[in-house]
């Protein structure tokens, strides 16, 4: 019985010794070399060696490093944590103390592009990122005019104001169509019939008259006809110009020029910064349109009242001028510099 007890004690001592030895090994810092890779579990990272895989327990410590990307060759030092269990357990849990990129490895970018991080042997080089913005302004000649006209009539009787307005508006539309030509678009821009009130203290408001208003919008591509259309509208009975604006319907070419110009400006800025740092632009990491390219903003004219014009009066002069097309591009570049 004493021999059996002694044997049991010896066995337990041996097992304890082995476990202690294993724990001592697991607690010892190790250094591994391999390639970075992502885990099945979102947000997780591995170091893939020629043998086992190591699950990085603290990847956030290194994710701001430029080289911390998939397939980058690294050397990491730290401790394995045998007591840690992950959902998929893709590798040995590894708490990394230090990690560095191995010389001669390459950093992969979006779309499969790569940029060398280290140049010729013996020449230390590093990468830094720079974000620049380029702006561009392109002046374009408008190709479309939008003219808003109106017939305004006033009468003590609502029906009389409406009837007079209808007659003058019909004459206005016919005159505008004839002056603008077949390629123009003529449509109603709004209609209203509103009472006008007289106010006296201590008494309810009294309707004194009615104002009828009929708006007509003319869109034309022949800008030389804008003045003649205004003149014809005035003679036909229009007595208000609500607005005149110029725009660019076919703006594809102007947009492309503005974007290309903004990109060139951003690239020039990146090269200037690289030269100042004693390096060069290694590659473009990201390009995005920082500010939306907006269509040219119409330039409205203040509303003005038109008086009936004589047939021999001078034609209304109209100068469309130029429209501004703006673009802004933000560019992120990697600059290779010599330490």
pLDDT by residue (tens digit) across 83-105? 666 666 788 888 999 999 886 54
pLDDT of residue 127: 80
pLDDT tens figures, 122-172: 444 578 888 999 999 999 989 999 999 999 999 999 999 999 999 999 999
The chain-wide mean pLDDT, for the chain, equals 79
* Domain boundary assignment for the chain: 16-115, 119-141+248-298+322-339, 144-247
Residue 117: predicted pLDDT: 37
Higher pLDDT, 52 or 118: 52
Highest mean pLDDT among 93-97, 107-111, 193-197, 253-257: 193-197
pLDDT of residue 232: 93
> What are the DSSP calls for 33-91, one per residue?
EEEEEE-SSTT-EEEE-SS-EEEES-GGGTTTSTT-STT-EEEEEEEE-TT---SS--S
How would you label 236-266 residue by residue, b for 16+ Cβ within 10 Å and e otherwise? Answer: bbbbbbbbbbbbbeebeebbeebbebbbebb
Q: Which two tokens stand for residue 231?
A: 């003149």
pLDDT at 87: 64
Q: Please, which pLDDT band fits residue 207 given cuts at 50, 70 and 90?
A: very high
Tell me, yes or no, if the two domains 16-115 and 119-141+248-298+322-339 fold the same way. no
- Please compute the mean of the pLDDT values over residues 287-303 and round it to a whole number: 56
Q: Give the β-pairing of 92-101 and 106-108.
A: unpaired
Architecture of domain 16-115: Beta Barrel (2.40)
198: enclosing H helix or E strand = strand 185-200
Going by C-alpha positions, the residue among 325, 303, 316 that lies closest to residue 248 is 325
* pLDDT at residue 120, as a whole number: 38
Of 107-121, 222-236, 262-276, give the lowest mean pLDDT range: 107-121
pLDDT at 5: 44
CA distances from 57 to 49, 95, 246 (A): 16, 5, 62
Reported as a single tens digit per residue, the pLDDT across 13-53 is 343 334 444 444 444 578 899 999 998 877 889 999 988 89
pLDDT band at 11 (very low <50, low <70, confident <90, very high): very low
What's the CATH architecture for 144-247?
2-Layer Sandwich (3.30)
Q: What is the pTM of this model?
A: 0.53
Residue with tokens 């060139």: 264
pLDDT confidence tier of residue 113, bands split at 50, 70 and 90: very low
**pLDDT value at residue 3:** 47
What whole-number distance in Å separates Cα of residue 9 and Cα of residue 275? 74
CB within 8 Å of 210: residues ≥ 6 apart: 154, 155, 156, 157, 158, 161, 162, 193, 194, 195, 196
pLDDT bucket at 267, cuts 50 / 70 / 90: very high
Instruction: Say if residues 29 and 78 touch (Cβ distance below 8 Å).
Output: yes
Res 68: pLDDT: 87
Residue 246 reports pLDDT greater than 60 = yes
φ, ψ for residue 244 (rounded to 5)? -140, 125
Q: Class of the 119-141+248-298+322-339 domain?
A: alpha beta
């Amino acid at each position: 019985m004493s021999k059996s007890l002694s044997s049991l004690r010896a066995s337990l001592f041996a097992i304890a010794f082995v476990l202690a030895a294993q724990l001592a090994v697991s607690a010892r810092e190790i250094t591994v070399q391999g390639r970075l890779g992502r885990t099945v579990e979102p947000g997780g990272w591995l170091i893939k060696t020629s043998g086992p895989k190591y699950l990085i327990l603290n990847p956030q410590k290194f994710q701001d490093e430029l080289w911390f990307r998939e397939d980058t060759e690294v050397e990491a030092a730290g401790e394995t944590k045998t007591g840690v269990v992950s959902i998929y357990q893709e590798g040995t849990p590894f708490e990394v103390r230090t990690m560095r990129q191995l010389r001669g490895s390459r950093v992969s970018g979006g779309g499969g592009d790569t940029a060398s991080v280290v140049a010729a042997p013996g020449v230390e080089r590093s990468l830094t990122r720079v974000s620049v913005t380029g702006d561009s302004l392109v002046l374009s000649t408008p190709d479309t005019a939008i003219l808003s006209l109106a017939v305004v009539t006033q009468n003590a009787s609502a029906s009389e104001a409406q009837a007079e307005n209808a007659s003058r508006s019909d004459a206005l539309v016919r005159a505008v169509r004839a002056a603008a030509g077949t390629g123009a678009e003529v449509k109603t821009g709004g209609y209203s019939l509103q009472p006008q009130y007289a106010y006296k203290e201590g008494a309810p408001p009294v309707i004194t008259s009615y104002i009828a208003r009929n708006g007509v919008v003319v869109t034309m591509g022949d800008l030389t006809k804008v003045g003649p259309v205004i003149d014809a509208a005035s003679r036909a009975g229009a007595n208000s110009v609500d607005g005149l604006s110029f725009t660019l319907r076919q703006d594809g070419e102007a947009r492309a020029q503005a974007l290309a110009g903004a990109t060139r400006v951003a690239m020039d800025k990146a090269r200037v910064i690289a030269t100042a740092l004693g390096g060069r632009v290694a590659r473009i990491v990201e390009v995005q349109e920082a500010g939306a390219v907006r269509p040219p903003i119409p330039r409205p004219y203040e509303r003005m009242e038109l008086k009936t014009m004589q047939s021999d009066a001078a034609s209304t002069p109209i100068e469309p001028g130029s429209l501004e097309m703006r673009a802004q591009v933000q560019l992120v570049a990697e600059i290779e510099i010599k330490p």
